[in-house]
Amino acid sequence: MIRRHLTTIGLLAPPLGWLFAFFVVPVGIVAAYSIDVLHGPSLFGGSHKVTLAAWHAFFHSSVYLGLFWKSVKMSLIVSAVVVGLAYPVAYYLALSGTKRKYVLLLLLIAPFLTSYLLRVLAWKVILGNQGVLNSFLVWAGLRSADHPLSQLLYSRFAVMLVLAYVWIPFVALPIFVSLESFDRRLLEAAADLGASRWGAFLRVTLPLSLPGVMAAFLFVFIPTVGEFVTPSLVGGTSGYMYGNQISDLFSAGFPDWQTGSVLALFLLAVVAVLTGVFARLLQIRQVASG
């Protein structure tokens, strides 16, 4: 019994130590900055006693909260679009019965093994004023060379398009797993009871795959709501997101680490709450289906 406990402690100690050192401690440092226990680089002096002034200013700032809700809206749209596009792909790969489904799955993922930055920069070439799309429109006579579609790049549209492109193959994976694992005899039973293919999909396939769909949705929403690399490259001013504000507060010419810490902790808290809600919903659904 003692040996079993020692084995359990030995197995858990490295990951828990890693989690404590590289997650709990950094979050604690950020929390200390947010209440001014510590202080970042500043051109001005002053006392650094415990204060919640930065939190009070954040919750009474229409700028920061407005930027946060803008980012949430963009992330929700991207997540919904990505799940909607990835579901048919995962459905075909899981239920079509093709013997090459794993080869097709590998082909789906293969282009995304290249550098993330290279793929984002490639979209700048595609969407730019002299890019592929505008060149095609000029060639087709739909636009003048002097009046390209400048709205394609450095806009919210560009940010959401690139984020959707990046996440579709990875979102297809959890949906594919959930669809492939359920019992196909349920579809046969539904057909024997007179259900059409569409009815069987709505009453059997879709409900059973919802845990994978919800996990895929959360899998996209969490990283995109705090995204700052893609908006920096293709977003411009209209595609500026909450993550860009956090990055600028820590790295701009006049950094404000206290406010940046508040923004970062607020985002972390929102993501933690949403993760808990989704996990609870998944547990309730599994108990109900069981």
Contact, 48 vs 37, CB < 8 A?
A: yes
Evaluate whether residue 4 is within a structural domain: no
Output the CA–CA distances (angstroms, integers) from residue 284 to 27, 235, 269, in the order listed.
30, 39, 23
Give the 3-state secondary structure percentages of the chain, helix then strand then coil, rounded to 5: 75, 0, 25
Residue 121 covered by a domain: yes
The answer to whether the beta carbons of residues 261 and 31 sit under 8 Å apart is: yes
Residue 129's domain comprises 62-289
- Note the pTM of the prediction, 2 decimals: 0.85
Task: Give the total number of structural domains in the chain.
Answer: 1
pLDDT in tens, 61-84: 899 999 999 999 999 999 999 999
Evaluate whether residue 19 is within a structural domain: no
Residue numbers of the chain with a pLDDT score lower than 70 = 1-2, 38-48, 97-98, 283-290
Query: Tell me, what's the pLDDT at 270?
Result: 93
CATH assignment at residue 271: 1.10.3720.10
| Rounded CA separation 51/28 (Å) | 16
Note whether residue 279 is domain-resident. Answer: yes
Please report whether residue 24 resides in a domain. Answer: no
pLDDT at residue number 42: 47
- Of 255, 256, 257, 230, the C-alpha closest to 241 is 230
For residue 219 the two structure tokens come to 């899998």
- Kindly state whether residue 12 falls inside one of the protein's structural domains: no
Task: Kindly report the number of other CB atoms within 10 A of residue 209's CB atom.
Answer: 25
